[in-house]
Amino acid sequence: MQCTYCEWRCDLSDGSLGVCRMYVEEGGAIRERFPYRWSSCIPSRVESVPFYHAWPGSRCLVIGTAGCNFRCRYCSNSFVAKQDPASIQDGMIELLPAELIRKAKQLGCHSIVFNVNEPAMSFPSLVELAGEARGAGMPMGCLTNAYTTEESTELLGSIFSFFNIGLKGLADSFNRDSIGIPSVDPILRNIRRLAALGHVEVTTPVIESANDGELEEIARFIADVDPEIPWHVFRLLPEDEMKGARYPNIDAIAGALESIRAFLPHVYFHNFVGSDWVNTRCPDCGTTVIERFSLGCGGDRLRSFICRGNLCPSCGREIRLHGEKVAWSAGEVRQ
Ligand SMILES: [Zn+2]
């Protein structure tokens, strides 16, 4: 029997495991091997995920599971993404969906965001969780590599309302050598579809000498889908198999991004201390409408929010946001 959750379409006949090792065939159906088992369940600022145009200022419960359908050579979460999921015990917690929602509420979280690994690894648990979250009025978002089939992209769209999609590179050679997939085409198709179904932001890690020549082409694709999509460019400090590789040059990337802003205005550049590319500027008049503070490595927070609703206070241009600004609520936060 073929698994149709992602574009690998693995054959799970006779008890074999697919690329991600997270599903098995049982009684003519695809079953999750480790339901309700989470590798992460901690509150965070939504800006740190990052989401810059969704529920600004809010606190989310960041969850993750194990397994991945990609084999990125630079993976920073290889502990949960690349290990045999059956062998990971340390730090994994089992919580039923209703218990997870209760925990999110206790911690003062406004939403739930799937991060760490790939949500397509845990579809059945997430479908159940989405049902509970809907009942509790809690929005759900995710980071995804969007290597899902057309059917399961619809499933993603029914579970989550906001997405940060990883678009790592366009060239087949890059995708084959650095990510381990034959083509980026399904991802491009799914970015278009998810942008129609919900709120989308896109993230691209810049890897020195691997995809740094493709920035403009990637930006043109995003602008063609929708020029209001926020684009997060991450200066990648390679881990895992690429540990020791050269760090991308900040000035060279910033120079390339400056000209991209002309056709894709909401460009953000992350992962170095003191970046002033973490603020939102009004594309028409240049006023800084949302100011953020960045510690350089995923420690972002809202500093000031001067939009009037979702309008620039100076010229009235729409700054597209998914959800309104949410007041930071009291409660325990570890980050
Ligand atoms: Zn303006």
CATH of the domain at 76: 3.20.20.70
Q: Give the mean model confidence (pLDDT) for residues 213-239.
A: 94
Is 59 among the domain residues? yes
Is 119 among the domain residues? yes
The total of other beta-carbon atoms located within 10 Å of residue 332's CB is 8
pLDDT at 94 over 50: yes
- pLDDT for the residue 80: 77
267 Cα: distance to centroid of ligand 1 (angstroms): 16
Structural domain total, the chain: 1
59 Cα: distance to centroid of ligand 1 (angstroms): 27
Is 305 among the domain residues? no
- pLDDT for the residue 9: 97
Which whole-number Å values give the CA distances from 12 to 19, 27, 29, 84, 114, in the listed order?
10, 12, 10, 17, 26
pLDDT at 334 over 50: no
Is 254 among the domain residues? yes
3-class state of residue 174 by DSSP: helix
For residue 29, which phi and psi values (nearest 5 degrees)?
Answer: -135, 160
3-class state of residue 280 by DSSP: strand
CB 201 within 8 A of CB 54: yes
- pTM for this one? 0.95
Neighbours of ion ligand 1 (CB under 5 A): 282, 284-285, 287, 312, 314-315, 317
What's the DSSP call for residue 292? E
Who has greater pLDDT, 6 or 235?
6
As a whole number, the mean pLDDT across the chain is 92
151 Cα: distance to centroid of ligand 1 (angstroms): 40
d(CA 77, CA 68): 10
Residues 6+ apart with CB under 8 A from 283: 265, 266, 317
292 Cα: distance to centroid of ligand 1 (angstroms): 18
Residue 161's domain spans which residues? 34-278
Q: Give the mean model confidence (pLDDT) for residues 62-84.
A: 85
Give kind and range of the element (H or E) at residue 194.
helix 185-197
d(CA 132, CA 129): 5
Is 9 among the domain residues? no
- pLDDT for the residue 296: 66
Q: Residue 330: which pLDDT band, with cuts at 50, 70 and 90?
A: low
Is 192 among the domain residues? yes
93 Cα: distance to centroid of ligand 1 (angstroms): 46
Is 22 among the domain residues? no
Give the residue from 51, 282, 326, 261 showing the smallest Cα distance to 161. 51
For residue 51, which phi and psi values (nearest 5 degrees)?
Answer: -125, 120
d(CA 194, CA 125): 20
Is 329 among the domain residues? no
